[in-house]
Amino acid sequence: MARCFYDIGKVKVVEDVLTKPGALTEEEYRQIQMHTVYGYQLLKEEGSFSEDICLMALEHHEREDGTGYPYKKTADQMNRYSKIIAVADVFHAMTSDRVYQVLPFMMFLKK
């Protein structure tokens, strides 16, 4: 279920920012980062999603070493299912065409 909703917060980010082909400004990057908080809020307000699913929307850009966003959580602070979604999201980013992708993962593998 979470795989369908973890990026739902992007509906509240301006489309021009989401699809911008060039480098983002600091403000645009902050807007992108907020999609995790927006997603958590949307799912909580809807009321029929478990806390685990809501946390997956919030935490899927956190990193075990504390370098992620939005709250710089470390491994012991993250929901275990959020970690799975984070790995899947990184893999998806590396293997799909996205406007902000610098070097597609598949091209790297072919080298």
Task: Indicate the burial class of 42 (C-beta count within 10 angstroms; 0-12, 13-18, 19 or more).
Answer: middle
Q: Which of 10, 12, 20, 44 is catalytic?
A: 10
Distance CA 107, CA 46 (A): 40
Is 10 catalytic? The answer is yes
- Active-site positions read 10
